[in-house]
Structure 1
Amino acid sequence: MTEKLIQNVIVAMQDSLTDEQLQKLENVLAINLHGMEVREECTQLVTSERHWERILKLYIASKRLENCAESTLLAYNRCITLLFQGINKKIHEITTNDLRYYLAIYQEQRKISLAYLETLRHNISGFFSWATDEGYINRNPARRLKRVKVPQKIKKPYTAEEREHLKDVAKTERDVAIMELLYSTAGRIGEVVALNRDDVDFVNREIIIYGQKGKKERKVYLTEGCVYHLKKYLESRDDNNQALFVRGRKPYNRLGRQAIQDMLRKLGAEAGVHAHPHKFRRTLLTDAGARGVPLQEIQAYAGHAKSDTTMLYVSVKQESVKASFMRLIA
């Protein structure tokens, strides 16, 4: 009855509220009406076998066999662990309302975006679908969790001026080389930090990247500017670490993803540019599309399994749309 009441209210208000307002309303109703149908709930810690932990380990193992990236597996593990700790019930006792309540509380307390809320819903649904298929539970409580409607926002790439400005304010040759490599290879940050010196073929201006997603190798290429700054950076080093990028002080350990993210954030603040590693990937793919590189080739260069994924990255520049319209239609 509680679920029906919530849905009736949402349906009645959907023409008057935005998607975000509807989500907020559903959260408020789920929070305030939670527990009204069943007055007694198990609130004591489950300390016996912690059956869900064993099932979660098996789930993560199954996803590892599917070649999921380690970063993805960590995200799955954290998401499901927080879920069970928050709901605090045995796996077979969890209901759809429990999941709705958990997601609503999570969003209200942590002020997460709708996009992240949908990611959590997707991860939770994936786990319970697998647990049902494998016979660990008789019914899937996540089956009736509806997808979160996420407003589509165009994520803009860097302009040529922004990229130049970032290089102008860079403190070291290493930082410039990192930015040039991120752009030239369209590499994910995890792929870039894993590179070693001998991975770079300066003669043919190419690198073999071992993809994080799908774990497939792909060949990417280096611009003249990337080659120049990489050589200049490597020639300035006097350490023996085989890592392509290292920290600036002894013991010159491999540079990690967090260090690169922090570096770009600081440069971006100084340059007045919203800067992060993945934006270089988007920029290269957008530039490739604008200069006539076929979508299939861009897809292969990016290491995407589906062209739909590539299309999410390749922004269509409005100037190109106008030029094509004026040439072909007007």
Structure 2
Amino acid sequence: MLLSKAWASFEADKRIEGFSPQTLKAYLLQSLLLIDYFKDVEMELLDTNKLKEYLAKSGKHLKPASLAHRIRFMKSFFRWSHEEGYLSKKPTSKIKEPKVGKRIPKYLTEREIEHLRESCHSPMEKAIFEFMFSTGCRIGEVVALEKNHINWSNQSAIVRGKGDKEREVYFNTRCDIWLKRYIESRNDHNSAIFVIARQPHKMSVAQMRYIIKRISNRAEINKEIHPHQLRHSYATHLLNNGAPIEVIQSLMGHEKSETTKIYAQLSGRLRKEYYQKYF
């Protein structure tokens, strides 16, 4: 089977399995790079040595984490192709991922959060910022939010996270106020919570990233700010205030507790309290 045809079938299968649009988009890029390098050849012509050569050449300037992502895609793609009967062997079975050190997430201090908060000018900016910080949602989860996903009486929302899994998240009173003010200020009937004002339609991830960037530029914080830092800051805030790891894991929608435990490394205040308590 040709690489392009195998990819089309693989993508369709993973879409049915509930892979997120973000994951499928990342996989599409990897498939295009693979096809660009080998051209649209028959899959049986690709053996372990050829795939290793591809990784060695294409991965020269990649960070270990990016190379590991490329290898994970290839392993998934070629394993699926073998299971479907398109390949007699799995050419990626002996290819190993590079060792990637655990990166401590970058988070914002309480002072930086306040600077960002003060730099939100419109009800829309305030609503986006407060929702992202008080729920810890991923940006993809925020842009997908619909009005009927909100439970106002419970100050909660149902979001769809990785693997198409739903979870309930909660927001505080400040967020509740700005969400309502923002929605009341709109004249459209679009079902999305966050929309682009001109010809109102659901906001994209790129558009929301731009809004966060615009807010951070006004705040003049001397570091690069990206939306995921609000999620990291949410987790750190919970940890610093004594929330158990299991609770944070559930609220953030982490599948593995190891992902959540990374935050314990950066919570200096809490570690100092434990030291003073137990030493």
Deviation at 1:92, TM superposition (A): 1.0
Letter in 2 for 1:227: D
Q: Is 1:239 the counterpart of 2:203 in the alignment? A: no
Identify which of 122, 130, 144 aligns with 2:80. 130
Deviation at 1:313, TM superposition (A): 5.0
Match of 2:237 in 1: 287
Letter in 1 for 2:164: K
Identify which of 165, 172, 177 aligns with 1:216. 165
Identify which of 47, 51, 58 aligns with 1:99. 51
Which deviations, in whole Å up to 9, do the C-alpha atoms of 1:108-150 show, x marking residues without a partner?
Answer: 3xx3322111100111111112222332112222122221122
In 2, are the aligned partners of 1:156 and 1:315 still within 8 Å (CA)? Answer: no
Match of 1:24 in 2: none
Match of 1:227 in 2: 176
Question: Structure 1 residues 169, 263: closer, same or farther in 2, change over 3 A?
Answer: same
Match of 1:201 in 2: 151
Which deviations, in whole Å up to 9, do the C-alpha atoms of 1:216-249 show, x marking residues without a partner?
Answer: 322111111111221222222222222211223x
RMSD value, Cα = 2.0
Question: For residues 164 and 316 of structure 1, what CA distance do their matches in structure 2 show?
Answer: 20
Q: Is 1:148 the counterpart of 2:90 in the alignment? A: no
Identify which of 247, 253, 260 aligns with 1:303. 253
2:62 alignment partner, SS class: coil
In 1, are the aligned partners of 2:239 and 2:270 still within 8 Å (CA)? Answer: no
Counterparts of residues 16-27 of structure 1 (less than 5 Å): none
Question: Structure 1 residues 298, 162: closer, same or farther in 2, change over 3 A?
Answer: same
In 2, are the aligned partners of 1:282 and 1:314 still within 8 Å (CA)? Answer: no
Q: Is 1:164 the counterpart of 2:114 in the alignment? A: yes
Which deviations, in whole Å up to 9, do the C-alpha atoms of 1:51-99 show, x marking residues without a partner?
Answer: 2222222222332333211221222232123202212342111122322
Q: Is 1:263 the counterpart of 2:215 in the alignment? A: no
2:153 alignment partner, SS class: coil
Deviation at 1:315, TM superposition (A): 5.0
Deviation at 1:328, TM superposition (A): 0.4
In 2, are the aligned partners of 1:87 and 1:98 still within 8 Å (CA)? Answer: no
Deviation at 1:269, TM superposition (A): 3.4
Letter in 1 for 2:176: V
Q: Is 1:72 the counterpart of 2:20 in the alignment? A: no
1:151 alignment partner, SS class: coil
Letter in 2 for 1:119: H
Q: TM-score, normalised by structure 2?
A: 0.90
Which deviations, in whole Å up to 9, do the C-alpha atoms of 1:263-316 show, x marking residues without a partner?
Answer: 222332342242222221222122222222222222221222222232245554
Deviation at 1:175, TM superposition (A): 1.0
Identify which of 252, 266, 279 aligns with 2:200. 252
Identity of aligned residues (%): 31
1:208 alignment partner, SS class: strand
Q: TM-score, normalised by structure 1?
A: 0.77
Question: Structure 1 residues 195, 129: closer, same or farther in 2, change over 3 A?
Answer: same
Letter in 1 for 2:129: M
Contiguous gaps of at least 5 residues in structure 2: none
Paired residues, number: 276
Question: Structure 1 residues 267, 105: closer, same or farther in 2, change over 3 A?
Answer: farther
Identify which of 64, 68, 85 aligns with 1:118. 68
Q: Is 1:85 the counterpart of 2:36 in the alignment? A: yes
Question: Structure 1 residues 212, 91: closer, same or farther in 2, change over 3 A?
Answer: same
Question: For residues 180 and 87 of structure 2, what CA distance do their matches in structure 1 show?
Answer: 57
Counterparts of residues 310-321 of structure 1 (less than 5 Å): 310-312=260-262, 315-321=265-271
Counterparts of residues 54-73 of structure 1 (less than 5 Å): 54-73=5-24
In 1, are the aligned partners of 2:104 and 2:265 still within 8 Å (CA)? Answer: yes
Letter in 1 for 2:24: L
Contiguous gaps of at least 5 residues in structure 1: 1-49
In 2, are the aligned partners of 1:207 and 1:220 still within 8 Å (CA)? Answer: yes
Q: Return structure 1 stretches of 4+ with deviation > 6 angstroms.
A: none
Letter in 1 for 2:8: K
- Higher CA-based Rg: 1
Question: For residues 132 and 99 of structure 1, what CA distance do their matches in structure 2 show?
Answer: 15
